[in-house]
Amino acid sequence: MTMFSIPSSWATCWEKLQNFKLESLFARNRGQGTPRTIYINQDVPSSYLDAKGRPRKEYVYCTNQVITSKYTIITFLPRNLLEQFRRIANIFFAFIAILQFFPQFATISPGLVILPLLIVLGITAVKDGYEDIKRHQSDRHVNHSRVRVLTGGGWTNPNFTGAKSRTFVRGVVSKARPKRLGAHKADVETGTPTDAERDTDVEMDEGISMPDGKHHHHLFNGDHDVVRAHWKKTLWEDVRVGDFVKIVNNESIPADILICATSEEDNVAYVETKNLDGETNLKSRNASPVLADLRTAADCANKLNAFHVDCERPDTNMYKLDATVSRGSDRSPVDLQMVLLRGTVLRNTDWVIGVVLFTGEDTKIVQNSGGTPSKRSRVERQTNPQVFINLAILAAMATVCGIADYKIESRLYPEGAPWLYGDDTSGDNPGINGFITWAFALITFQNIVPISLYISVEGVKTCQALFIYFDYEMVDKKTGQPTLARSYNLSDDLGQIEYIFSDKTGTLTENSMLFRECSIGGVVYYGDRESEPDPEAQQIGDDNNRASAPLATGVKLSCGVPEHFKDKQLSQDLASAIDAEPGSDNAAHARSLNGFFSVLALCHTVLAVVDPRTGAIEYKAQSPDEAALVQAAADVGFIFCGRDKDVLKLKTPFSMEVERYQLLNILEFTSARKRMSVIVRKLDEADSRLFLLTKGADSVIFERLKAGGDELKQTTEQHLDDFAGAGLRTLTLAYKVIPDDEYEAWRERYQDAVTSLEDRGGKVEVVYDEIEQELRLLGATAIEDRLQDGVPETIADLKLAGIKIWVATGDKLETAIAIGHSTNLIADDSNIIVIRGGDWGRLVSEQLVQALEDFFPGSDVLKDDFARLGTSQYRESQTPYAMRRLSTGVTSLVGEDNGRRPGGYVLVIDGAALGQALSDDQHKKLLLSLGTQCEGVICCRVSPLQKALVVKLVKDGLHTMTLAIGDGANDVSMIQAADVGVGIRGEEGLQAVNSSDYAIAQFRFLKKLLLVHGHWSYARNGTMILNFFYKNIVCIGVLWWFQIYCGWSSAYAFDYTYLLFWNSFWTIAPVLGIGLFDRIVDADILMAFPELYRYGREQTWFTMKSFCGYMLDGVVQSVPLYFLVTYAYFTTTARSDGYDIALDEYSTTMVFASVTVACLYNGLNTNVWTAWVFGAVFIGIILLWLFTVVYNSISPGWFVTDVYGNNHFLFRSAYFWLCLPLTITISLLPRYLYRAWQLGYAPGDLEILRYIRKKRPELDIAKACRLAPHHQQSRTSSRRRPSSRISRPLSLASTVGGTPTDRSVDHASADHPRPQDIRRASRTDMSTGVRSVDRGFDFATEEGGVAIRRIQTGLSERWQSSRHLPLAETEPSVKKKSSMRIFSSLRRKKPPTPNKDS
């Protein structure tokens, strides 16, 4: 016997239906694209044209116009209607309205029937349209930015470009066919304007002059018919593939551009890529060598300079681009290092000339961004099944009425019932009448699905957005920017967030590095905290001791360094060191100070640029860390004055003259080496020794130190622990003196290694390691990657709220871990699991499986066949990568239970590993299982598309509510992929804000946005919707019970006007009061107790269970409301004239009772009764009384009603005054008793907190229920970041009296702070099996960047040219003796005098 199975075709259709996205109907899918060849100064091949001379489709490139809006004028109406009719209720209302256009089912005018639906649709459409207009305005702002484009000189762009979208109608022109080549170019542009106007948009290259030597001041030649080649400012959206563009300093890049030439001597350009990868350090890019001569507009327009570029198809890989430039017989490869990507910003470079390769939707950043999604809140999605249930109930009720009417007519017609006379025709018989009764029942009971529900929810959410906007506590005091809700319909989602995905740079950090503290020779300097930033430039040293004119007179703050480093004690020690006598007590520390800051000032790749206007030095660094280190050295007097080829110039307080050092070798930094070294020779007649200067992680520096000096090592190690405990990045400095003969032998081995064709990297690493031994320790530095205000506290509270935080950043792994520590994402006792990708180490699948086996052995995913396969593969390969302990060289820091510390686990995974982990469903399952069992996840080196894929992995894999927050263009896809997207108005532009649902000014505002506004909105909206369904089921219940006594004819129990105004006047105000004014608890309590957010995460306020409970309440309450009134009136008549009662008399009593019960029931479900709530509860009841009195008094002279004169009988009846209190009390009693029992005998945290606030309004509940942190006196403890674990009382009930009786005491926060025990945390690299302890080390630099490669190339060429020349001879009488000093003299050098030797 086979089990029943769904046909595969049905399953496929159902899966397609589930995965269907409405926006796909209106999106233009360009496909993958094809490889392209871009022709410059030459015609395109004839194969690019079809038989009719029109460009082939595959050779027509997209425009540079980028549009993020959803609608156009053409698509607005159909798309918006389709979005609104995703609501089942709207489809039902439209059906009911259309049904009443037929005379058989008409109740009132059909126009009035459909009017409410049109109002609902219209208001929603206006709101959606307003939101999209804002997107259009943002798009226009970007697309109408201006850039210099080559024009004139006979230059034309032969490449084909499609027509750009005109204003809102981008969906119309896409189908237009390109025009014939040479015809009027409407859809395909192949030429440039022939008229260059004399306006400010036209620029000529500098230095262009007339033949007589005078500068050229006009565009035209002597005959005025040829336009000279020039640059004209053009809109971004008009830039085309194949255009020459000129970018100047601090301008954004409009498209993906191949660099031809730059203003720098080596044709290097520096770009800021934080919009793409989140990194704040500048990246160097170099020009294509075969195009380096195209430095002017005339050169670019010259027909002799013809070439073409072969490019790969557009793709999403942000770190790879393959192309080839062909110029004559020369072919040169092009990689990403030669390309400026859209979204980056040109920095520290006067100008760049380039050729546009990709535009608009083909650029890397846009390829990584998805289309604007149509988001719906979870509450709205959950409402659909509940509407389905109500529709099913409605269908059942209508079916019962239809069948019952058919049966009754079939039975009574043969008996001669007079009202059934002639009930045997084709159009009038029991069957037809039963069907009509069924249809009419749908109209009678239509209020079971309230049409006013959606418009009420929309109105309430709009008001909630205004509450957020007017919250002064979420307004940035510096800029005055409030928090803005850009999508009004997602406010309740803010109260259900389970996962937050955050960018790092600009979101958590301020994009600035600050040199905070240092340890030198065992002495720690904390730096003087500045209340205000320093001026732009600071004068260094005394005027009389400055160098000559070519040298700078001061040092300006570097980009990304917010203030200068100052320390009074350090200044005093330096002053004492300058005059320290050799052999004195102060001499040893003087040598340490001199060596420490000399290493900072010389071991780097920073460029020193002299401002020609002020003469001040400004450092241009590819790494913000390097800029902060060199800047700090300059701040204390060790000024790096620049580099002249291989000579480094340094001005120190110990010498009046500028010291010169020959740079011999750079031992590059890599994430594996964790250190950088330089080998220099001091160019001094008295001292020409060789020095190795090194900086790096303490773990790699300490194990390479010379034996001895244990006291200094131990002291420095303690200082490193202190720095790491304060959340600072640490760096250790060391040096050694190299004998000449040792260096010459090493240099030969180094040259052999770098020229080796086999395993070059491994051989170079071995040679590096040979020379970096026997080092002498100088000290350590502590740098702060300055965080946004309140970031650590916000993350700590969000973690307490039960929200898991995943950080997705483009930074490298070490930087991401350092930020994790400083932001509280990684606690002091957390265990870090590192998953790395790449060509070395274990496979990613093996790393994931082993991590699950080691740390989460009970995971269900390990039972899968794939996991078992991965485990077996791992076991086969585990020998070379067995887990091992890593020592710092001083003490063993790793215990036996390392990796199983009490702080939980944090997963760190890089982009290469993430790419493999997202490659198929099995890898995704492993990653999802590991990531969700960790307290947090940090994804580093990820592309924008990978950020979005990670969000979708969690959102679709766990079906949880996700929030993404970022501030740059690289975060747009992530923001759009999440259920709720939050953009920060940061330094990276407005791209993230334009694509977000909520815009905030600082990350810390996210706490109140979620914990207060989100929690309130979810509780309000959920309770409001449930009460909406309840109040309508009460009304429908009364009508249903009436059918028993009216022959199941679908007749109304009371006058239709009461039913018509049920949702618009009588019962609308109480539910709106809940949605607008209810508070589960006050805002200060929600902020003080983030744990209360679990009620939102667990979906307490809106579930199917609560929906069924409210519906059952409505059904139960409708029983006494109908039957008590009915049987009271159906006994002895209450009329004094003896006549029997009329239907409208007792049914109006039902109306009064039902409205009063519904309003008071809504009031019972309100947590806080304010004046607004009182008004909302009773306004409907008052309106009902007033309406009834007036409506029953309208005489037939005005218009005919069935209730004229009813006041005479209704209000004089004893039954009316008896039934109202009786039915109201009986109906509300069950709910009232339940609430009373819950508050008295089973109160939750919310009930307790509300009770305390009511009884003790003056009590500060936050202080009463939480241990206040002790004031910490020590300087070190005041710098320590707040703990992510905050003590809690075991029971809130114990705080009712104002004094907690049972608390979990955190002894670590006592007056005697406990230093960080680094044995509490561990770091496990799953790719190598290494377990170690991390002190927060980070050194961010561009590995293998252009600056390093350029310097290395220059050093190599100079070595090759001089290797056969004799070495410079030194005086044989000068014999160097072994010394720890870097310099032969520590005192300031003075001019010689007749009486003294220098």
Q: Pick from 80, 53, 73: which is nearest to 177 by CA? A: 53
Residue 113 and residue 128: Cα distance in Å, rounded?
24
Give the H/E segment covering residue 136. helix 110-143
Spatial contact of 932 and 906, defined as CB atoms under 8 Å apart = no
Residue 1339 and residue 623: Cα distance in Å, rounded?
8
- Of 187, 503, 785, 1144, which residue is the catalytic one? 503
516: left (phi over 0), alpha (psi -120 to 50) or beta: alpha
Residue 299 and residue 682: Cα distance in Å, rounded?
45
Q: Counting beta carbons within 10 angstroms of the beta carbon of residue 403, is it exposed (0 to 12), middle (13 to 18) or buried (19 or more)?
A: middle
Burial 389-400 (b: 16+ CB within 10 A, else e): bbbebbeebbee
Integer-rounded Cα Rg, in Å, for the chain is: 39
- SS3 sequence of 745-756: HHHHHHHHHHCC
Beta-sheet strands, E only, within 22-178:
36-40, 60-61, 146-151, 160-161
Residue 799 and residue 937: Cα distance in Å, rounded?
13
Spatial contact of 1095 and 492, defined as CB atoms under 8 Å apart = no
Residue 895 and residue 905: Cα distance in Å, rounded?
17
In the three-class reduction of DSSP (H, G, I as helix; E, B as strand; rest coil), residue 648 is classed as strand
In the three-class reduction of DSSP (H, G, I as helix; E, B as strand; rest coil), residue 36 is classed as strand
Q: Pick from 913, 663, 811: which is nearest to 1341 by CA? A: 811
CA separation, residue 904 to residues 449, 848, 959, 1027 (Å)? 48, 17, 24, 42
Q: Which residues sit opposite 262 in a β-bridge?
A: 352
Spatial contact of 870 and 849, defined as CB atoms under 8 Å apart = yes
Residue 596 and residue 589: Cα distance in Å, rounded?
10
Residues 6+ positions from 604 with CB-CB distance below 8 Å = 621, 626, 629, 630, 640, 676
Q: Which residues sit opposite 215 in a β-bridge?
A: 209
What's the one-letter identity of residue 718? Q
Spatial contact of 664 and 564, defined as CB atoms under 8 Å apart = no
Q: Are strands 884-885 and 675-682 parallel, antiparallel or unpaired?
A: unpaired
Round to the nearest angstrom and report the end-to-end CA distance of the chain: 107
Residue 454 and residue 119: Cα distance in Å, rounded?
11
DSSP letters for 1181-1218: HHHHHHHHHHHTT--TTT---TTTTHHHHHTT-HHHHH
Give the H/E segment covering residue 680. strand 675-682
Residue 325 and residue 288: Cα distance in Å, rounded?
8
Q: Are strands 60-61 and 884-885 parallel, antiparallel or unpaired?
A: unpaired
Q: Are strands 831-835 and 905-910 parallel, antiparallel or unpaired?
A: parallel
Burial 1331-1356 (b: 16+ CB within 10 A, else e): bbbbbbbbbbbbeebbbbeebeeebe
Q: How far is CA 238 from the centre of its chain?
A: 30
Please confirm, yes or no, whether 839 is among the known catalytic residues.
no
Give the catalytic positions in this structure: 503
